[in-house]
């Protein structure tokens, strides 16, 4: 008889305990295995969420723990939703969100489509394209700040090489009009490879036999693209949009490193504004209400998106 | 249109999810639009109504 480590453990288990374990039902054993995860989920996700909702109805300030906490009802929500600065922040977030998703999906899908064609050096190009995604957002923010420098930055030289003019005549991160585009460009540069990888997985999952059947029916490449490639890659595209949408809604590190929310408040996204309210102004109750507002928005959007994704997958 | 209203009256999931989704989408557009502060003010209540409705109606029969 072979004695595995598991057998040795079983032999070493005291008899009363072993009898207890043997007496458990499958369901009970399943619960024992799942319980630590559920406990962690409750402790790390659910409890803070409920606590945040509770704090959002108070005037609590975390830097004054001994101060009496008053219940203020919906006043925090009222302040947030009538504040024109918060409104501007939402618009900046919308600009960032819409343009990054549009550009990343278009470029990511185009790159995936090209890489899906078999050619020499295919794998090498995939590795090179994926490289920006592997970098830390702090590193990316830092070196793009140098690239955007009007005097020494490469970006201005490349732009003026094509358009003409003086490289130091504009500043991407110092100009009110350009700063919002500067963060869009960097996020697109960094996260397009992620969308590309998801699209590539989608494109590679399409069986060749479908294209062969279409060829037999004399369908043009254009028609094959719109009636085979796009519908079959659509769930993957939607998944990429969901991931990037949620991630970019809470974008913080990259933008803080690049522009710090400036110039003025032009690149102050909601997460940056929220951090300022919570940890610079120490308005914990107010920032909790702010966080709840964002959570409801993301949760609602994700719900309808997941529903749409399931519908597409069912087709 | 009549099947949609019938579905609403008979508490069916499909049409009610459509209503909830429309409310959520409307709320998010109101939240991020650059035209009127009043729309921004009422965006949260619209999104919240849509989200809660969505959670409830997802338990309705097909």
Length of chain B: 62
Ranges of CATH 1.10.3720.10 domains, chain A: 76-314
Bridge partners for A71 per DSSP: A58
In a domain, B33, yes or no: yes
Question: What are φ and ψ of residue A28, in 5° steps?
Answer: -65, -40
Q: What is the ipTM of this complex?
A: 0.91
In a domain, B62, yes or no: no
Any CB–CB contact under 8 A between B43 and chain A?
Answer: yes
Q: Are A195 and A109 in contact (CB under 8 A)?
A: yes
Chain A with chain B: Cβ pairs closer than 8 A: 50
The number of domains in chain B is 1
| A chain contacts of residue B37, beta-carbon cutoff 8 Å | 82, 84, 87
Two structure tokens written together for A264: 């003025």
Looking at domain A76-314, which CATH architecture does it have? Orthogonal Bundle (1.10)
Measured distance CA(A256)–CA(A271) in Å, rounded: 10
Q: Are A88 and B31 in contact (CB under 8 A)?
A: no
In a domain, B21, yes or no: yes
Measured distance CA(A262)–CA(A34) in Å, rounded: 46
Measured distance CA(A94)–CA(A92) in Å, rounded: 5
Q: Give the structural domain span for B25.
A: 2-57
Two structure tokens written together for A18: 């072993």
pLDDT band, residue A2 (cuts 50/70/90)? low
| B chain contacts of residue A300, beta-carbon cutoff 8 Å | 24, 27-28, 47, 50-51, 54
pLDDT of residue A201: 92
Residue A226 has pLDDT above 90, yes or no: yes
Q: Beta-carbon neighbour count of residue A6 at 10 Å?
A: 8
For the ranges A102-116, A190-204, A290-304, B5-19, which has the lowest average pLDDT?
B5-19
Inspect the interface and report whether the beta carbons of B54 and A82 lie closer than 8 Å.
no
pLDDT of residue A311: 80
Two structure tokens written together for B22: 């429309």
pLDDT mean over A160-173: 85
Place of tokens 């974008």: A251
């Amino acid at each position: 008889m072979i004695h595995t480590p598991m057998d040795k453990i079983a032999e070493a288990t005291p008899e009363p305990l072993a009898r207890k374990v043997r007496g458990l039902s499958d369901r009970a054993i399943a619960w024992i295995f799942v319980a630590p995860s559920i406990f962690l989920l409750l402790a790390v996700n659910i409890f803070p969420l409920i606590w945040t909702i509770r704090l959002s109805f108070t005037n609590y300030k975390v830097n004054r723990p001994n101060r009496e906490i008053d219940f203020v009802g919906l006043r925090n929500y009222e302040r947030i939703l009538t504040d024109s600065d918060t409104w501007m922040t939402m618009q900046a977030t919308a600009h960032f969100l819409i343009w990054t998703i549009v550009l990343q999906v278009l470029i990511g899908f185009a790159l995936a489509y090209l890489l899906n064609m078999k050619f020499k050096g295919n794998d090498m190009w995939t590795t090179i394209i994926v490289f920006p995604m592997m970098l830390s957002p702090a590193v990316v923010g830092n070196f793009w700040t140098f690239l955007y420098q009007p005097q020494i930055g490469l970006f201005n030289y490349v732009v003026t090489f094509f358009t003409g003019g003086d490289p130091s005549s504009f500043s991407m991160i110092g100009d009110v009009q350009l700063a919002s585009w500067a963060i869009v460009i960097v996020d697109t540069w960094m996260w397009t490879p992620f969308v590309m990888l998801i699209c590539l997985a989608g494109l590679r999952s399409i069986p060749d036999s479908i294209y062969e059947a279409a060829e037999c029916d004399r369908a043009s490449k254009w028609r094959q693209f719109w009636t085979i490639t796009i519908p079959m890659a659509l769930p993957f595209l939607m998944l990429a949009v969901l991931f990037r949408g949620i991630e970019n809604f809470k974008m913080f590190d990259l933008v803080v490193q690049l522009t710090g929310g400036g110039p003025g408040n032009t690149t102050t996204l909601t997460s940056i504004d929220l951090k300022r309210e919570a940890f610079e102004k120490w308005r914990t109750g107010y920032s909790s209400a702010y966080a709840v507002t964002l959570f409801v928005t993301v949760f609602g959007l994700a719900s309808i998106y997941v529903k749409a994704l399931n519908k597409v997958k069912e087709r | 249109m009549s099947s949609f209203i019938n579905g609403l009256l008979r508490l069916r999931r499909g049409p009610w999810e459509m209503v909830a989704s429309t409310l959520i989408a409307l709320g998010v557009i109101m939240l991020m639009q650059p035209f009127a502060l009043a729309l921004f003010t009422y965006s949260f209540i619209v999104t919240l109504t849509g989200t809660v409705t969505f959670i409830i109606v997802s338990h309705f029969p097909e």
